[in-house]
Structure 1
């Protein structure tokens, strides 16, 4: 059990290198929550949450309001992972909940003196991530693809979700530019109708696409099942799968081949483990993705991916799209598309740039 004796809540604003556009909208910055938890011995754990109005229904005001409620509830309590999960599941802000859960598990692993991924399962020591290209004009997408391949990435994730003809042109231009040896994944972010998605699945076969992510509206489970039945390309659920019960519903109607885990959707690490367990039991593979986290939040996801065998696909790149970084030392490394969480205790975060964090609230002894 871990007793939380001090809590700090911060606001973090991080700009993107350039506007990042998907079918649901355009982002120019990430407005995140950062949480620091301290035990009675002075050990600390750090966590990050990246809110989403479009996917999680959150506003920044709601996030900090809910974070203050969580702080008041856990301060001075003896907690373990399951007990904290019961608390964060009641929160109206999944990303605030995730920040607390991540900080807790960072603290827990540090107290034990082990890297978090080894505490959670320790299945592998590194992972390979794709890198994402937002919605651009077809020639721009091809140019960006070539740039990332030269940087060493072997898998690209390309955002689609506009008119099928233009989306197909994007993939055609990319294949012409990078050849057949580089993996391509596509993500429509709910942008297609069921009929358009079935058509796209058929057309994309000739471009050797690895998966199609969230082709239709998040709540159209039956439509997703129709796409999966018609598609020879694996279909992944993202916005449709936030909780273990969502996975059960999708599995019952054979709607997907893959479920995309995001710590912001699952309310942190413990929820992600539950989603992975249900997926594995249903014969569904997992990928793991991200919202707008910096290397702080991305490192937590890398630890989860390294821990669990059922996570076989990685989309952990949001920090690489940012124009600035809060982590000064430590955290998940990146080289030629390969990420390693490292073997420092906890998340392995050594130093943060505190000038990028604005204190919102402080509780107890910190």
Structure 2
């Protein structure tokens, strides 16, 4: 059974609340959805979110990569030859990780659909529910404290507090969140590269002295400054997590070699999909590093794929899978959903996605004559 067509769609979905971090302020999810179809008309879906400040890939560049490189590479190939198909995609171009991730996930989804099993089971797991944290976006001291109370009332027990816009104000923001939610709720920070190494050490030590009990601090410094990341790690007691500093295996090896971080945040859109994502989790585990799966601002497709990997492989920290929670409404038909602070995966073939809502087709499928 061969791959008959590759469709590329552009999907833009509004958020119910602006997503404000040290990197950007976003009001919409903007993503390229790849649909790979076999000869029987069965589809597998993947997506390439546009996150300029992390991957540097645009909707247009991901579309071009898929239509000009990956589509002719895949048309006519055996849809069940999953490992080799994913390997060919990974080797076909330099960079373009979001586009690679979209095709890699779509190939996995199609394989699971063809077998009639959930993607999590294809990956080797049995669970169909995994916990998630929820982000508190950058705001005033009062607004962040209020948001923290609301999220806890909704059932979230792990809060990811966005900081990094103002080192001096960040200390007060985190203190206010801790005071608002009490001692039992887990608080983690994500600076999104917003601090210098010296600022990071000052802020983290201040929070340690204040007894805020921060679980870990994610990507406190610029992504290229692995030396600075190690400098911070050596000078604070709070665990440090690498995110934007790690795209692939080579990046993680450098972080490990320099002992620059205690944990790593694996994201499918920056690692190139499930194939590399699994490798990163296994490598981190073998080196004694903590692990977490994260989501970009993306739809039920990318977030569901990440949750499926968590369901199969597990992580040492509650994963960051709240992207779809920020959507104003569903972006696809079917797929994952939330039950409080739990991501629930459908007991259906693949990702359980049956179609897209309000998606615009940007290119015609290419088929073998």
TM over 0.5: yes
The count of corresponding residues between Structure 1 and Structure 2 is 362
Alignment of 1:80-229 (within 5 A): 80-91=82-93, 92-122=95-125, 124-205=127-208, 206-229=211-234
Indicate yes or no: 2:349 matched with 1:349: no
The Cα shift of 1:351 comes to: 4.3
Q: Structure 1 residue 334 and structure 2 residue 338: aligned?
A: yes
Deviation at residue 309 of structure 1 after TM alignment: 3.0
CA RMSD of superposed structures (Å): 1.7
- Relative to structure 1, the CA distance from residue 89 to residue 142 in structure 2 (aligned partners, 3 Å threshold; closer, same or farther) is farther
1:27-53 Cα offsets, whole Å, 9 max, x none, are 121210011111122221111121222
Secondary structure (helix, strand or coil) at the match of 1:313 reads coil
3-state SS of 1:346 partner = coil
Query: Could you state the TM-score of these two structures normalised by the residue count of structure 2?
Result: 0.93
Secondary structure (helix, strand or coil) at the match of 2:250 reads: helix
2:36 aligned residue: 37
Equivalent-residue separation in structure 1 for 2:4 and 2:316 (angstroms): 34
In the TM superposition, residue 126 of structure 1 has moved relative to its aligned partner by 2.3
Asked if 1:317 corresponds to 2:322, the answer is yes
Runs ≥4 residues deviating over 6 A = none
Unaligned runs of 5+ in 2: none
Deviations 1:108-165 (A, max 9, x none): 0111222111221216442110111111111111111111111111111011002222
SS state at 1:252 partner:
helix
SS in 2 for 1:362: coil
Deviation, 1:303, is: 0.2
In structure 2, do the counterparts of structure 1 residues 197 and 89 end up closer, same or farther at CA, with 3 Å as the change threshold? Answer: farther
Q: Is the 8 A contact 1:188 1:216 kept in 2?
A: yes
CA distance in 2 between partners of 1:88 and 1:81 (Å): 11
Q: Which residue of 2 aligns with 1:70?
A: 70
Query: What is the DSSP-based 3-state SS (H/G/I as helix, E as strand, rest coil) of the residue aligned with 1:37?
Result: strand
Q: Secondary structure, in 3 states, of the residue corresponding to 2:223? A: coil
User: Equivalents in 2 of 1:291, 1:108: separation in Å?
Assistant: 24
Q: Secondary structure at the match of 1:223?
A: helix
Deviations 1:328-361 (A, max 9, x none): 32x22211201122321211224432x3333433
3-state SS of 2:61 partner: helix
Distance 2:362 2:224 in 1: 37
Aligned-pair CA distance for 1:311: 5.1
Is the contact between residue 51 and residue 264 of structure 1 (CA under 8 Å) also seen in structure 2? no
Gaps of 5+ in 1: none
